[in-house]
Amino acid sequence: MPRLEVGDIVDTNYNTGPYRITSIERGARKRQNEFNSRRA
């Protein structure tokens, strides 16, 4: 089960400043929530 998707990788490439980690965490949590909602 991958924790990061293409969108998250793109975020890391564009957000090279202090927002990088926050952006990754938000993207990962959002996608994980959507994934769980679909399987529930």
> pLDDT tens, 3-40?
666 655 555 555 555 555 555 666 677 777 777 778 76
Does residue 18 belong to any structural domain of this protein? yes
Does residue 40 belong to any structural domain of this protein? no
Q: Which residues contact 8 (CB under 8 A, 6 or more apart)?
A: 23, 24, 27, 28, 31
Burial of 24 (0-12, 13-18, 19+ CB in 10 A): middle
Structure confidence at residue 10 (pLDDT): 52
What is the count of structural domains for the chain?
1
Does residue 14 belong to any structural domain of this protein? yes
Does residue 11 belong to any structural domain of this protein? yes
Structure confidence at residue 29 (pLDDT): 72
